[in-house]
Structure 1
Amino acid sequence: MEHAIGNTPLVPLRRLVEPGMARVLVKLELCNPTGSHKDRMALALIEEAERRGELRPGKTVLECTGGSTGSSLAFVCAFKGYRFQVISSDAFAQEKLETMRAFGAELLIEPSLEGKITPDLWPRMMARADRLRAQGDYYYTNQFHNRDALVGYRKMGEELLEAEADAFCAAVGTAGLLMGVATVLREANPQMQIYALEPATSAVLSGGPSGSHQVEGTAAGFVPPMYDATLVTAALPISEEEARRTARALAREEGIFAGTSTGLNVTAALELARRLGPEKTVVTVACDSGLKYLAGDLFRR
């Protein structure tokens, strides 16, 4: 199953790009086994821990997750034979929670405020994980602090070198994807422009206050420990409403069926393409499949 992860297609936008704009390429990470780029991270977290001898048969894997990381870890734990316990919340898509259960994960649900990702939610989830760790034989993958994730995302960066891009942008959650890819792209081209994206209502990386939003997988309300501002050209706050409109337009006009974080990425990529102009290339990521969001209001008319 390991070989099914990665080497995803890189496709150009054809209808959303206007004359005079740079070319926009989208990495279709929704083609990974669980429909998410997090499959790369999950495999790296587990295999690097195995390699060091920190994760052995009989141990239980533990994580706090909004869903895609949990689905990916549940998938990897299923084919490797590990028990997986996950702390999540009703703020995240029901489809993601059910996917984790389908792969055999045991879920502990931390209640949210009106289904929103508020600044206190992630700290509560992580505190619950700390309490659990003291009670059993767990391997805590600890996605916000675990630099093993960069191993998985460096591979994505290597796959993107063929694009010979001028700019790369991606939404920041743990920052693993952006940092892993940016490191590889900057090694190949020191002039590469790297943009960190976040919802405008919780623009911590841009110097604003944390706030509530519904762009899953992004903006936990604090600067993630793996975030390295020296690799970033700028942090860009993006309107969540515009991201939602873009996600719907991607499905209707480009045939790319993806979620709100992908809408965030492509909204920014299109704006960068306007700034850079023709003969340039902007690359971004379709983070996960729109199938994970059908129970919510993203695609509901």
Structure 2
Amino acid sequence: MPRSSVSSPVDSVLDVIGRTPCVRLRKVVPEGCADVYVKLEYLNPTGSYKDRMARAIVEEAERRGDLKPGMRVVEATGGSTGSSLAFVCTLKGYGFRAVCSNAFAAEKLRTMAAFGADVDIVHSPTGKITPDLFPKMVERARTLAEEDKNGIVGYKSLGQELLAQFPQGIDAFCGATGGAGMIMGTATVLKASDPKTRVVVLEPESSPVITKGHGGTHGVEGISPGFFPPLLDESLYDEARGISEEEARKMCRRLEPQLD
């Protein structure tokens, strides 16, 4: 293994959050087209880029003096954010309560609990995500702890890494959006470096909230919750596209054996 590919030892597993590699797609991109890279965020400790956000908001709360030993963090979440916050809070010695719902996959609830979360369930009579479910979850979280108004800054590190990995410049960046923290944090850094970098927001075409103004059903938890993401700043992206869920799943299956 080349020396340059070996990471230096770290003192905490928190220190391996981020610094994820980029891999060029050589087999699925037609000859003569752009160089397309994917950033392997699944290599974060919980398998999600949400680890960046979780560490950032916990450590920012510590710096402000709002989060102190013996306190508990509470968040209304549908899954991956809860797992990331549980992971960070457990390592730092804080309790964590995830306000969730039976409308989300049981695997996500079990994963949050495995990372140390106390999972508080807001019952959905239909077992599905409905327009009133998220307000109920947020209200439940408010009764358990004061809502954190701090902006999410952890995703800026993703943009900074991309600039370091591609010093020649980046023509376009694409990302799916749920709460929009990831794509807005990344776009803030990329646009500040080069305003000509195109940022493309992706959502399921069957739930075209951003592209057409109305929600719909889809099978990808964590994105397109059915309302316009409050963090989505139209000045920071150039285009929004609806993506066929079927085509996206087919591409995922094609990519796995071709990331060599």
Question: TM-score range with shorter-chain normalisation?
Answer: 0.7 to 0.9
* 8 A Cα contact 2:198 2:237, kept in partner: yes
| Cα distance in 1 for residues equivalent to 2:226 and 2:150 | 18
Corresponding residue to 2:34 among 22, 25, 29: 22
Alignment of 1:249 onto 2:254: yes
Write out per-residue CA displacement over residues 113-148 of structure 1, whole angstroms, 9 at most, x where no aligned residue: 765444333223222222x23xxxx3544xxx641x
With over 3 angstroms needed to count, the CA separation of the structure-2 counterparts of 1:253 and 1:92, relative to structure 1, is: farther
What CA deviation, in whole Å up to 9, does each residue of 1:135-167 have, x standing for no partner?
Answer: xxx3544xxx641x22x1111101001322200
Correspondence 1:126 to 2:138: yes
Q: Within the alignment, does 1:154 sit opposite 2:166 as a pair? A: no
Q: 1:86 aligns with which of 92, 98, 112?
A: 98
The amino acid that maps onto 2:160 is E
RMSD across aligned positions (CA): 1.8
Selected match of 2:172 from 154, 159, 167: 167
Q: How does 1:1-301 map to 2 (within 5 A)?
A: 1-112=13-124, 116-130=128-142, 132-133=143-144, 138=145, 140-141=147-148, 146-147=150-151, 149-150=152-153, 152-161=154-163, 162-163=165-166, 164-254=169-259
Q: Normalized against structure 2, the TM-score is what?
A: 0.87
d(CA) in 1 for partners of 2:137, 2:177: 19
Contact 2:23 2:259 survives alignment (8 Å): no
Answer whether contact 1:211 1:221 (CA < 8 A) is retained. Answer: yes
Gaps in structure 2 of 5+ consecutive residues = 1-12
Instruction: Indicate conservation of the 8 Å contact 1:59/1:139, yes or no.
Output: no
CA distance in 1, matches of 2:106, 2:253: 20
Identity percentage over the alignment? 53
TM-score of the superposition, structure 1-length normalised? 0.76
Which residue type is aligned with residue 44 of structure 1? A
Name structure 1 gaps, 5 residues minimum: 256-301
- The alignment covers a number of residue pairs equal to 245
Q: Deviations over 1:91-110 (max 9, x none)?
A: 33333221211122111223
Q: 1-side partners of 2:146 and 2:46: how far apart?
A: 22
Shift of 1:200: 1.3
Q: How far, CA to CA, are the matches of 1:121 and 1:16 in structure 2? A: 39
The structure with higher relative contact order (CA 8 Å, sep 6+) is 1
Could you tell me whether the CA contact under 8 Å between 2:206 and 2:218 is conserved in 1?
Answer: yes
Does the aligned pair in 2 maintain the 1:157–1:185 contact within 8 Å?
yes
SS of alignment partner, residue 191 of structure 1: coil
**Per-residue CA shift, 1:159-189, capped at 9, x if unaligned?**
0013222000111111111111101111111
> Which deviates more from structure 2 when the two are superposed, residues 106-115 or residues 39-48?
106-115
Give the counterpart letter for 2:162 in structure 1: L
SS of match in other structure, 1:196 = strand
1:245-288, CA deviations, whole angstroms, 9 ceiling, x for partnerless residues? Answer: 22222224337xxxxxxxxxxxxxxxxxxxxxxxxxxxxxxxxx
Rounded to whole Å, the distance in 2 between the matches of 1:115 and 1:166 is 42
Deviation at 1:206, TM superposition (A): 1.4
Q: C-alpha separation between the residues in 1 aligned to 2:127 and 2:38?
A: 30
Letter paired with 1:248 = R
